[in-house]
Amino acid sequence: MQVFRLLRTNARAASCAGWLNPTAPAALSPQQPPDLPGTAADGTGPPTVIGTLSERELEVLRHLAEMLSTAEIAAAMFISVNTVRAHVRAVLRKLGADRRSDAVRRARDLRLI
């Protein structure tokens, strides 16, 4: 319900959300949503980086590049396994990756590691 209220009151959100309406004409409801945050504008390139990585996230990313497990990263950084998992989730989200290997590849492309 709050989404519909937002779309009724915010013209900018409403203009970008025509694809959400199942009764909209075909021109307004394409198969893919237009320009989602974190994707390239034309949809052909890799997703853009959503945020900058912290020092600890970069350290976790370097360990991921070494193919260390979550437990091995936790031991090397003297932090808990749950903290490593939280950092990995943040790295994946910020780099727009689905898997650890994708994040490492993306980081290398961006020269982060």
State the chain's mean pLDDT as an integer: 77
9-47: per-residue pLDDT in tens? 776 666 665 656 555 555 444 444 444 444 454 455 555
32-91: per-residue pLDDT in tens? 444 444 445 445 555 566 778 899 999 999 999 999 999 999 999 999 999 999 999 999
Look up the CATH number of the domain holding residue 101: 1.10.10.10
Residue at 50 is within a domain: no
Query: What is d(CA 54, CA 101) in angstroms, rounded to the nearest whole number?
Result: 19
Q: Which of 88, 83, 90, 84 is nearest to 52 (CA)?
A: 90
Number of domains within the chain:
2
Whether 25 and 59 share a structural domain: no
Residue with tokens 């959100």: 13
For the residues of 61-92, what is the DSSP string, one character each? HHHHHTT--HHHHHHHHT--HHHHHHHHHHHH
Domain boundaries, position 62: 55-109
pLDDT at 98 over 60: yes
